[in-house]
Structure 1
């Protein structure tokens, strides 16, 4: 039985795919934000490409940045499609709440998204929410873990101003993405299932939005598709 509702996943994915495709097709004025000619000369020389080729690669890099900005709340919204999980949206202290398992969580896409001195603020936010939700556990979720490690441990970030660490508590934890999806769904393969849906749904969205044909099997049937996931989540 599938963990995810395919239509709900597609609904979350659609604005990300649409905006990224549009960004790739637009003729961007990459000079608008003052292009660094020194960086261009150094990078082109190192890579052995012309400056014209460098400009084209820079356009693609900026389009990729658009995708990265959009993907920031991808997992928050995706977790919110699961039964019983509420996506609290923008502006709340935490990102999601799951009353059935008494869980609140702040979701970050990558382990280094949050700088060390900001992690104490996440800790403090979790503490403030737990004061209003007795018996709950607060999680700081790092979807993409460092060096492919899995972890679910007490979260005790350092405070640079006091040179101390926040007090350890079994009810305030840091966890990797795969482990958190398993915690929420009870399925160890939940995150991989979501990953496997992406190529096919992306192809459908491109066809429906732009009449662009993409063969999802070119991605899914590539051996590296599975290997890439396993490298990040061993």
Structure 2
């Protein structure tokens, strides 16, 4: 398989991942229209105030809200895109029945993806799931991969309350950019993927 764009997945795999995401965008756009926008019991009085007081054309405001709804519905598809890209790297796979988004085939890595802020009441359960996996597989590193932040980081994850702090030496919170480096073993790989996607989109659309 050719590797003209990045050297850890084939061009065919990268194209398939982009094609799958494109289908998700088309589906999301078809599900959210101006007609469905009003059918969703939008507060038209508030819409009028928003347009007037924010000095925005009402049509532009409606279009902006439609795009926001599309963006909200596409969020899971972005997660699937990352799963497919990372799961296509040699030695890794999409988690599927394991309950994780991506895992190493030899069970030395397990990851869950964070695509939006996680309410604090759910963080304990997510940490516990990763910690249990780290206990079950003594060579495994377990990650909560944060795609919501722009900064590049990796840190040991600790759940802290006023009374206590709980952590595990092989459970981490990590940025999406750094996680790509962990899985591929290459520096600045996230930016190379972004650049490759940009080139492919220009050639396709």
Q: Distance in 2 between matches of 1:57 and 1:153?
A: 36
Secondary structure at the residue paired with 2:41? Answer: coil
Q: Distance in 2 between matches of 1:99 and 1:23?
A: 33
Specify the alignment match of 1:154 in structure 2: 156
Closer, same or farther: CA 53–103 of 1 in aligned 2, 3 Å: closer
2:39 aligned with 1:40: no
Specify the alignment match of 1:83 in structure 2: 90
Specify the alignment match of 1:5 in structure 2: 10
Output aligned runs, 1:140-219, within 5 Å. 140-145=144-149, 148-158=150-160, 164-203=163-202, 214=205
> Do the aligned residues in 2 keep the contact of 1:97 with 1:105 (CA within 8 Å)?
yes
2:17 aligned with 1:17: no
**How far off its partner does 1:92 sit?**
3.5
Q: Work out the number of aligned pairs and report it.
A: 198
> Do the aligned residues in 1 keep the contact of 2:160 with 2:166 (CA within 8 Å)?
no
Closer, same or farther: CA 138–25 of 1 in aligned 2, 3 Å: closer
Q: Which runs of 5+ in 2 are unaligned?
A: 1-5
Specify the alignment match of 2:103 in structure 1: 97
Q: CA RMSD in A?
A: 2.6
Secondary structure at the residue paired with 1:34? Answer: coil
Specify the alignment match of 1:74 in structure 2: 81
Q: Distance in 2 between matches of 1:101 and 1:176?
A: 21
Calculate the TM-score normalised by the size of structure 1: 0.73
Specify the alignment match of 1:224 in structure 2: none
> Do the aligned residues in 1 keep the contact of 2:144 with 2:174 (CA within 8 Å)?
yes
Calculate the TM-score normalised by the size of structure 2: 0.82
Secondary structure at the residue paired with 1:3? Answer: coil
> Do the aligned residues in 1 keep the contact of 2:159 with 2:167 (CA within 8 Å)?
no
